[in-house]
Structure 1
């Protein structure tokens, strides 16, 4: 048999926490009448609270506290609220309404509770009134990937909880979080496309940052190859370098590079070696145009280096003779321009065109 109750806590006028736990509302032959009594009790209680506190929710459901830890004063907020719940066994309770500061998890719990409640009414042919249909996107299912392509539409009984603006995916995110999510989705799509299309003027694959597959040891020559690709992207139109992916576009991971570490964390080891490579071949001005980190979205991690086009010509330092080299990107490779006159001609043409495009 279904039973209803109101439970929760709030702050009294002397800022003390008051707990409420009503008796069960139940009626074997007509549970909808028991529900109505519970709903009325829930709403009457809230109305009385709002009268006493002049509709100031912060005074009722939020309490600012502070605690001293190691001489530092830390402030935090305790949150309270009133719940309307039902149960079948007085052990597990299901939320169908709430008054207080509602977060995304609470919306999920209310939606699930309301959906299963009406399923119970329909299963046992109990009469009810004032039902409505809602379309709701469940945060928990959506982010875990267990949902269908579209949010779920279902029928519920009356509740004060509003679902009108909760029908679209990611409604629970702030504007900044949505922007970051959009960037992530676009980046994932670009990665998928790059792995399918293969190497081109904007994409390069390299199997390792350090590991020489002939000597089976670390090699400055391998880093030099990586640096040439980055240099060519900087001097052209930018691009993406995937380290840990072979020439066939297969993700082989970074185990070969990781095998060269000592006792340090393998990912920290790799990041340090990448930064050292930039120090070895470039001046510090290139850091502004390079963003790099691991991607863990596939079976094996790889290292993605995103390079923006530089505002000025970038030269690579050849450690064999200390000479500076100039690289540009062609359709599928990075090439060095040796002739000084050709370098000057390219720089004038490339950066004049870029400046005129951005004007």
Structure 2
């Protein structure tokens, strides 16, 4: 009963709207159409009151029941839709909670073929300053996952699994929060690999040890290989084991031929 309370409420509200609102209004509109010459304010008020009252008469009961039924049906449909939205939100919340619990385990297990850590997007912890060249390092890892089997890139965690957070990266951005951070990543990926590749990068933020980190869930790109421009060179990166390596031209051709056959 408790689970159906919202359905009942929506249905009852729809029934009342159909009976007490839609039906009388439709009667008034119909009457105005039958009396187009009566345009005086007094006539209009009289027609409105008479037809509004007439809609609740015993004579109009079948029509009232029809409108009430229609309203109840619309209300029931609204309730079902609302219930489905709530159910979906509940499922998404559960998945977020489960993912939040799994992130520490993912970090604790260390880097592997499908997981890579990066201390930051653009903050150099050694020289304690912003270095935009570090963004190229992140793009290399993204390219490597795209060209392989996909994977997870966690930013804000060093090679040993220590949680560093993103506060220094935020500080270096024009918009100094996670929205600005996400916009920066999307811009980098779009400029480096094309806008279509952005759909393969799924960005999420998590709080671990009271510090915010960013997780990039990267799908593989079997449709086309992804190359990264570095100066005058175009390089193909591939994730192999827990390392992302550049391939020579001949290695790239051989790998792509093998991938096509598979």
Say yes or no: TM over 0.5.
yes
Matched, 1:300 2:211: yes
**Deviation readout 1:208-244 (Å, 9 max, x if unpaired):** 1011234433323201110011011111111000001
Structure showing the higher helix proportion among its residues: 2
Tell me, in whole angstroms, the C-alpha distance in 2 between the residues paired with 1:282 and 1:190: 30
1:80-119 equivalent positions in 2, closer than 5 A? none
Counterpart residue number, 2:251? 342
Tell me, in whole angstroms, the C-alpha distance in 1 between the residues paired with 2:90 and 2:260: 35
**Alignment partner for residue 277 of structure 1, among 177, 183, 188?**
188
Q: CA RMSD in A?
A: 3.1
Q: CA deviation at 1:283?
A: 1.6
Q: CA deviation at 1:204?
A: 0.5
Q: CA deviation at 1:337?
A: 0.4
Matched, 1:238 2:147: no
Classify 1:268/1:60 alpha carbon distance in 2 versus 1 (closer, same or farther; 3 Å): closer
Classify 1:63/1:239 alpha carbon distance in 2 versus 1 (closer, same or farther; 3 Å): same
Tell me, in whole angstroms, the C-alpha distance in 2 between the residues paired with 1:185 and 1:268: 21
Matched, 1:266 2:220: no
Tell me, in whole angstroms, the C-alpha distance in 1 between the residues paired with 2:201 and 2:126: 29
Q: CA deviation at 1:182?
A: 5.0
Q: CA deviation at 1:193?
A: 2.7
Is the Cα contact below 8 Å between 2:100 and 2:206 reproduced in 1?
Answer: no
Secondary structure of 1:311's aligned partner: coil
Classify 1:63/1:305 alpha carbon distance in 2 versus 1 (closer, same or farther; 3 Å): same
Q: CA deviation at 1:61?
A: 8.8
1:18-33 equivalent positions in 2, closer than 5 A? none
Counterpart residue number, 1:218? 130
Tell me, in whole angstroms, the C-alpha distance in 1 between the residues paired with 2:117 and 2:14: 59
**Corresponding residue pairs, total:** 191
Classify 1:341/1:248 alpha carbon distance in 2 versus 1 (closer, same or farther; 3 Å): same
Tell me, in whole angstroms, the C-alpha distance in 2 between the residues paired with 1:60 and 1:269: 44
Counterpart residue number, 1:58? 12
**Deviation readout 1:130-159 (Å, 9 max, x if unpaired):** xxxxxxxxxxxxxxxxxxxxxxxxxxxxxx
Matched, 1:289 2:200: yes
Is the Cα contact below 8 Å between 2:228 and 2:234 reproduced in 1?
Answer: yes
Tell me, in whole angstroms, the C-alpha distance in 1 between the residues paired with 2:219 and 2:239: 13
Counterpart residue number, 2:4? none
Q: CA deviation at 1:312?
A: 2.7
Structure showing the higher strand proportion among its residues: 1
Tell me, in whole angstroms, the C-alpha distance in 2 between the residues paired with 1:60 and 1:268: 40
TM-score (norm 2): 0.63
Secondary structure of 1:336's aligned partner: strand
Tell me, in whole angstroms, the C-alpha distance in 1 between the residues paired with 2:89 and 2:13: 29
Q: CA deviation at 1:320?
A: 2.0
TM-score (norm 1): 0.47
Is the Cα contact below 8 Å between 1:228 and 1:316 reproduced in 2?
Answer: no
Counterpart residue number, 2:243? 333
**Alignment partner for residue 324 of structure 1, among 222, 228, 234?**
234
1:110-189 equivalent positions in 2, closer than 5 A? 174-189=86-101
Query: What are structure 1's unaligned runs of at least 5 residues?
Result: 1-55, 67-170, 354-359
